[in-house]
Amino acid sequence: MADSPDKRERRGSKRRARSRRHNPDGTMTLIEHIYEFRRRLGFALLALVAGGIVGFLWFSNRVGPIPSLGDLVTGPYCAIPPEQRFPKEPPCRLLQTVPFEAFMIQLKVGLTAGAVLFAPAWLYQLWAFIAPGLYSKERKYALTFVGFASVLFAFGVVLAYLMVPHALELLTNFGGGAFDTWFTGDKYVSFVVSLLLIFGVSFELPLLVVMLNRVGVVRYEQLKKWRRGIIFILFVFAAFVTPADPFSMIALAGALTLLFEFALQLTRLHDRKRDRHRAEEGWDQLADDEAAPFDYTPTSVDDEPRAKQSGNAGTDDVT
């Protein structure tokens, strides 16, 4: 059954409301915001479902030279010397103790990997929803933040993946040879994924320090005074969140210390540039009770561009 002209007109008006050519500033009513959120959320969920399907299939299949996701997950366990794990002879396998445990592990790992692989798709939907409400400078900062956060998270995950075999080898050495190590699939995957997430999230520390400095919450002089205490806290944090082995703790604490020192130097350069700019503008010479040299003359409605007035005429914009 063909749609009526009224329905086609309503769909056309909705598309024009989302179009940058017809609506350059992205203004929408409240109900239009709700519809837009529903549409973006639907596309994001479709991207996550597609990524989960790809990850589920990738778990047991190689993609050219890229090993299967199952081989990547079990790689750290299989790197343990054969005399310390069970079964000692190949192939290296995890233990399934309840029905459907292997299926649920494959589903969870596949969904996680798919969400990472298809992150640009669902992150774009989130960005497309919030970007019209930001100024151009705010959009630039947001894109920079997301870009650096993704890179730092990836570095943290890679470092954790390289540390997992050493951590497992050390942990399985306890017991004086009285035990064979045979991990259940659920416990082992939870251990690996948790360690990857801990390293990835922890690597966002320097970005957080830089952003707090950019908005004026902390300055380089304060961070310099707190340096020893912050480094001590980083080592304590690494000792609590990593397994009971020195390799993971030292790797995480050392990496966080280096990243913090790098962020500290960035704050020093930023504060120096900001202080120089304030000195050139004469802000530092103002008394506490002296008004800043702003132009406080308010603009009237008549000063607004006529095109903007005519374009907003008759628009019920509650946002």
pLDDT digits (tens, 9 = 90+) for 266-315: 999 988 888 887 777 666 666 666 666 655 565 555 554 554 444 444 44
For residues 164-190, average pLDDT:
77
To the nearest whole percent, how much of the chain has pLDDT over 70?
Answer: 76
**Given this model, what pLDDT does residue 42 score?**
93
Global confidence as pTM: 0.69
Q: What is the pLDDT of residue 286?
A: 62
76 burial level (CB within 10 Å; 0-12, 13-18, 19+): buried
- Tell me: pLDDT of 260 over 50: yes
The whole-number average pLDDT for the span 34-43 is 90
Return the pLDDT at 315.
Answer: 45
State yes or no: pLDDT of 53 exceeds 80.
Answer: yes
Domain positions in the chain are 30-174+181-281
pLDDT, the chain, mean: 78
Q: What is the pLDDT of residue 79?
A: 81
Q: Would you put residue 181 in left (φ > 0), alpha (ψ -120 to 50) or beta?
A: beta
Region 171-185: what's the mean pLDDT?
A: 73
More confident residue, 247 or 207: 207
Q: Residue 182: pLDDT above 70?
A: yes
List Cβ<8 Å contacts ≥24 apart for 88-97.
88/180, 94/182, 94/183, 94/184, 94/185, 94/188, 95/182, 95/183, 95/184, 95/185, 96/184, 96/185, 97/184
Q: Residue 185 pLDDT more than 60?
A: yes
Q: Give me the pLDDT at residue 242, please.
A: 80
* pLDDT of 288: 61
Structure-model confidence comparison of residues 29 and 250, the more confident one: 250
